Amino acid sequence: MPQKGLASEMNAEYIKENRKQTRHRPVNKNTSTNQHAGFYLSVQLQDFTIQYGALKAVRSVTLEFGAGSTGLLGPNGAGKSSLIKGLLGLVPVASGSALIMGKSVVAERKAIRQVVGYMPEDDCLIPGLTGIGMVQYAGELAGMSREDAMQRGHEILFMTGLGEARYRKVETYSAGMKQRIKLAQAIVHDPKLLFLDEPTSGMDPRGRQEMLDLIQIIASRGKMSIVLATHILVDVERICRQVVIMDKGAVLEQGLVDELRGSYQGSYTVRVEGDEKAFVQWLEKKGCRVSPGEKQHLDVSLPKGKKTGLILEGAKQTDVRLRKLVPGVQTLEDVFVKRIGAESIAHL
């Protein structure tokens, strides 16, 4: 068992140094730290459906999560939590099939429990247990011996910054501390796959930063694949190499974060002089997405395969003068808003 205070100080220094490095250089999500020996696909789903009465929370989803870090991104109510709960057997599956690490989520639940960690969005703590008692219990549920779960529990609680509070009852913990112990109980057994459901929920800015530091450390070690379910785009950009975008129970987009950004690179900032309304209508009829930008500019996204000549032709056809035409800077937020917005419009 680590000495009291020493491991906590070492962990704080590790996080401080890690944050210092990542502030000044981008994380290289393409390095070998995201490649895991022994398997490639963490999760495979085929026509996977979760239904609550008449409501389909997850709609015939077919997708694969590769090894490494994957962001499950979507607004509240998109079906992210229901998808994870269905994979873990916490809610019934209406139809379809799923494999975790090559094991059936229906037939091999016990085996899956030993290789999967889960940090739920909802409170999962047991009143009356101390921090170490909670984490030890989680380890035993995952198949660890009592002694191993106890020893590992102390180590994990120091790593997550709860070493000094490990003998306190969990109901006395602050919101941030509760998030930390939820992470601790999810990783005590060194799972191969870790599900994190809104891990920074309810945390203040400092606590949120420290939680992301911890997750980034776990991801960088390359021993666990991570599925991060969140509605916070910057968290996905920081942690994840892959992303799956969900809304209304369906998958709208999936792929590498960098490639997904690239799929919307046909975006431009435009300013015109003349009949702007006619110009916008002409572009929209040609399949462009046009939205108001800053300082009387227009943000124009071209259809796939189209080039700037379409904008020039639009200006000519509507007799407007182009005063500005520059490539737009795309972020994952731009992609997310455009994809969710386009899908919502289609359902009106």
Question: Do residues 192 and 69 share a domain?
Answer: yes
Please report, as a single letter, which amino acid is at residue 11. N
Domain CATH for 22: 3.40.50.300
> Is 125:171 a contact under the CB 8 Å cutoff?
yes
Quote the number of domains for the chain: 2
Q: Is residue 238 part of a domain?
A: yes
Q: Is residue 334 part of a domain?
A: no
Q: Is residue 335 part of a domain?
A: no
Please report, as a single letter, which amino acid is at residue 27. V
Question: Do residues 123 and 31 share a domain?
Answer: yes
> Is 126:170 a contact under the CB 8 Å cutoff?
yes
Q: Is residue 241 part of a domain?
A: yes
- Among the residues of 202-256, which ranges form H helices? 205-221, 233-239
CA proximity to 291, closest of 216, 233, 341: 341
Bridge partners of 290, per DSSP, are 300
Question: Do residues 270 and 245 share a domain?
Answer: no
Question: Do residues 118 and 90 share a domain?
Answer: yes
Question: Do residues 319 and 246 share a domain?
Answer: no
Q: Is residue 342 part of a domain?
A: no
Q: What is the mean pLDDT of each run of 10 residues along the chain (348 residues)?
A: 37 44 37 39 92 94 92 93 95 94 90 94 94 97 96 97 97 95 97 96 91 93 93 91 94 85 73 96 94 84 88 96 84 73 47
pTM of the complete model: 0.73
Domain end position, chosen among 209, 228, 260: 260
Question: Do residues 199 and 281 share a domain?
Answer: no
Interior/surface letters 222-235, b for 16+ CB within 10 angstroms, e for the rest: bebbbbbbbbbbeb
Looking at residue 222, its pLDDT comes to 85
Looking at residue 330, its pLDDT comes to 65
Q: Is residue 346 part of a domain?
A: no
Domain CATH for 297: 3.30.70.100
Residue range of the domain that includes 300:
266-329
> Is 36:226 a contact under the CB 8 Å cutoff?
no
Domain end position, chosen among 206, 232, 260: 260
Q: Is residue 343 part of a domain?
A: no
Looking at residue 265, its pLDDT comes to 61
Question: Do residues 61 and 164 share a domain?
Answer: yes
Question: Do residues 270 and 287 share a domain?
Answer: yes
Question: Do residues 138 and 54 share a domain?
Answer: yes
> Is 56:50 a contact under the CB 8 Å cutoff?
yes
> Is 207:179 a contact under the CB 8 Å cutoff?
yes
Question: Distance between alpha carbon 203 and the CA centroid of its chain, in Å?
Answer: 17
Query: Three-class SS string for 79-95?
Result: CHHHHHHHHCCCCCCCE
Q: Is residue 301 part of a domain?
A: yes
> Is 123:177 a contact under the CB 8 Å cutoff?
no
* Side-chain half-sphere exposure of 216, counting CA atoms within 13 A: 26
Question: Do residues 325 and 250 share a domain?
Answer: no
Question: Do residues 29 and 151 share a domain?
Answer: yes
Question: Do residues 230 and 131 share a domain?
Answer: yes
Q: Give residue for tokens 């509605």.
A: 231
Domain end position, chosen among 240, 260, 280: 260
> Is 291:270 a contact under the CB 8 Å cutoff?
no
Output the CA angle 19-20-21, nearest 5 degrees: 90
